[in-house]
Amino acid sequence: MEDTRLLFSSQAIADEDDYDINLSKVEIPVKYGSFSSLESGTLLDIEPNLNNYDDYDNNNENEQIKELSTEVPQGRHLGVFSTMVLFICRMVGSGIFATPSSILVNCGGNATLFLGVWIIAALVALSGLYLFLEFGSWLPRSGGKKNFLEQAYNKPKLMMSVSFGLFSVLTGLAMSNSIIFGKYVSSILDIQNLLYSRYISISLIVTVIIIHGFSVKTGVRIQNFLGGLKFILIFLICATGFYSMFFYDNSNENNLILWKDFQYDSELSLSSLASAFINAFFCFSGWDSVHAVSSEIKNPNRTLKLAGPMSLFICFICYLMMNLAYLKVLTYEEIKEAGPLVGSVLFIKLFGDTIGGKLMSLSIILSSISNVFIVLYGISRMNQEIFREGYLPFSKYLVKNWPTGAPFPSLLIGGLLSISWLVFLPPAGKSFDYLVNMEGYGNQFFLLLISIGIFIFRREQQYATASIRCPNMCVWTIILVSMYLLIAPFIGNQDINSVGHFPPYQVTALLLVYTGFLYWFITFYLTPKIFCYKLIRKVVIQKDGLSTTEWIHNYN
């Protein structure tokens, strides 16, 4: 299906792959044309003094560009159910079966503090969801955090766009759930060699890359199928919690639900509590990922407003029941020793080795597969949006929907980075917690900026009203919690924040943020000043209607 759009061009040069656009008027055919690759704050920002063109009334053209900016070649194909599948499959992954051990240990073994951390994480996730819903109502197109940060922080020019873009690509990883997949498959098959667990994790990532990279429809169908199975898993989790609370008898054991003191060997500190919260918040992390594919959602404002809160509520009930089961059935020593396999230990104790150890572990494996599908799907779309900006090296090759209409190059980058981390991190120890904390810390840094940015953006849009508004109390909640989480990890023993030869996770995350800033400073600020040129934006329309940006050196 083709739609003829009025674009800006003084010259349209058609070659085998695309069209080059410079400013004047020409009609060209575009399939689902999109300008969402252009910096969100300035949809078409080209130096006027360096291009010869006549003055014109561009109001109509800008409206057309804004219409184009919400569309992508894949079209809008995600309804309420598919969006809920994205939310729930992204949130209910391996986290609830892997992180409770480290969370309880970091809470000093105190059940009240443990449950309190989960409740606060859910409230912050809800606050963040409504923050994103408000920003998303202004910008109903793919990009998510990238678009929000660009709108709020447009000075210095391109700094936020480039810095966050590079950070997002470098941390667009699907490792945590693939690690759990490898561990649980190894457990079922009774494989003791840790290297084989790593190979199993890598094989899952490669398989998902192939499926998503060569067929959008097939990938989404598999996601929806696994999402349906995940709803069954959620029911089983809730039933497990109900059974544990009212029917399971462990009167002869230490019941952690009634335990109000701290364990004698615990190292409770501000840093450990921050790590506990980041791990719990990680389990809700899907609330902020669906906006990355807004351009593929039907009526995104209405759909996200319905699907987001409903999905978050379902996940919270699921997590609450599961955590109560952990506290009721297992002792502190069992939870601590189990580590990422705490879910398997719980099911074995409840239902025996055959049902609990095999069938329930299989459900955890399916949950991990579903989550990897969802994560890599979102990563590929976010990476493609960033490559469309043309900021990073080789962007014009990595942005393409190649070879079969899916963003395979963007997907491949996320997959290869995930595999690289799996190869270099130690196969045993705290690698899983390190990865979760590193990703969570960097995301918390940008979430703080987005929270402050909503006030900046509201002031600039004071004469307009958003269709969805986030309460100020929710915004301030995110700001205060984020500030605590960014400061607390530097307080106390840093050995618990490290793994192998890697620095503490918060240092690694900040180094990645700094790498993005340094790349912007050298490429887009310092080098043009030294060599006396200006970077001019050139809009390029691909054959499938996908708009991209290339940066031209102009020495005039």
pLDDT given at position 297: 78
pLDDT given at position 209: 94
| 206 vs 363, higher pLDDT | 206
Alpha-carbon distances of 324 from 238, 284, 293, 517, rounded to whole Å: 10, 17, 34, 43
Measured distance CA(427)–CA(178) in Å, rounded: 13
Give the confidence band of 523 by pLDDT, cuts at 50, 70, 90: very high
Domains in the chain (CATH in brackets) are: 74-516 (1.20.1740.10)
| 513 vs 108, higher pLDDT | 513
Give the confidence band of 72 by pLDDT, cuts at 50, 70, 90: low
- Note the pLDDT tens digit of each residue in 123-144: 999 998 889 888 888 877 776 7
pLDDT given at position 30: 32
Whether the predicted pLDDT of 517 surpasses 90: yes
| 159 vs 69, higher pLDDT | 159
Measure CA 421 to chain center: 17
For 407, residues 6+ apart whose C-beta sits below 8 A from its C-beta are 213, 380, 381, 383, 384, 399, 400, 401
pLDDT given at position 413: 95
pLDDT given at position 6: 30
Measured distance CA(466)–CA(343) in Å, rounded: 42
| 416 vs 216, higher pLDDT | 416
Give the confidence band of 378 by pLDDT, cuts at 50, 70, 90: confident
Task: Tell me the average pLDDT across 397-424.
Answer: 90
Q: How far apart are the first and last CA of the chain?
A: 41
pLDDT given at position 458: 87
Residue 176 and residue 94 in contact, taking contact as beta carbons nearer than 8 Å: yes
Give the confidence band of 211 by pLDDT, cuts at 50, 70, 90: very high
In the three-class reduction of DSSP (H, G, I as helix; E, B as strand; rest coil), residue 57 is classed as coil
Give the confidence band of 95 by pLDDT, cuts at 50, 70, 90: confident
pLDDT given at position 22: 40
pLDDT given at position 91: 80
Please give the model's pTM, rounded to 2 decimal places. 0.75
pLDDT, averaged across the chain: 79
Whether the predicted pLDDT of 262 surpasses 90: no
Give the confidence band of 42 by pLDDT, cuts at 50, 70, 90: very low
Task: Tell me the average pLDDT across 146-164.
Answer: 88
| 36 vs 229, higher pLDDT | 229
- Note the pLDDT tens digit of each residue in 488-505: 889 877 888 888 788 999
Amino acid occupying residue 375: V
Beta-bridged to residue 20, according to DSSP, are 13, 540
State the number of CA atoms in the 13 A half-sphere of 162 facing the CB. 22
Task: Tell me the average pLDDT across 242-256.
Answer: 72
Q: Which of 373, 97, 115, 100 lies closest to 234 in space, CA to CA?
A: 97
Task: Tell me the average pLDDT across 461-476.
Answer: 84
Whether the predicted pLDDT of 47 surpasses 70: no
Whether the predicted pLDDT of 252 surpasses 80: no
Task: Tell me the average pLDDT across 29-54.
Answer: 34
Lowest mean pLDDT among 84-93, 193-202, 438-447: 84-93
Whether the predicted pLDDT of 58 surpasses 80: no
State the number of CA atoms in the 13 A half-sphere of 485 facing the CB. 32
Alpha-carbon distances of 335 from 113, 121, 137, 547, rounded to whole Å: 16, 21, 43, 51
Tokens for 271, please give them.
């840093």
Residue 176 and residue 432 in contact, taking contact as beta carbons nearer than 8 Å: yes
pLDDT given at position 199: 92
Lowest mean pLDDT among 23-32, 185-194, 513-522: 23-32
**CA gyration radius, the chain:** 24
Give the confidence band of 73 by pLDDT, cuts at 50, 70, 90: low
pLDDT given at position 543: 83
pLDDT given at position 520: 95
Task: Tell me the average pLDDT across 509-533.
Answer: 94
Give the confidence band of 292 by pLDDT, cuts at 50, 70, 90: low
Whether the predicted pLDDT of 253 surpasses 70: no
Amino acid occupying residue 143: G
- Note the pLDDT tens digit of each residue in 326-376: 988 888 888 888 888 888 888 888 888 877 777 777 888 888 898 899 889
| 380 vs 294, higher pLDDT | 380
Whether the predicted pLDDT of 231 surpasses 60: yes
Residue 411 and residue 145 in contact, taking contact as beta carbons nearer than 8 Å: no
Whether the predicted pLDDT of 56 surpasses 90: no
Beta-bridged to residue 382, according to DSSP, are none
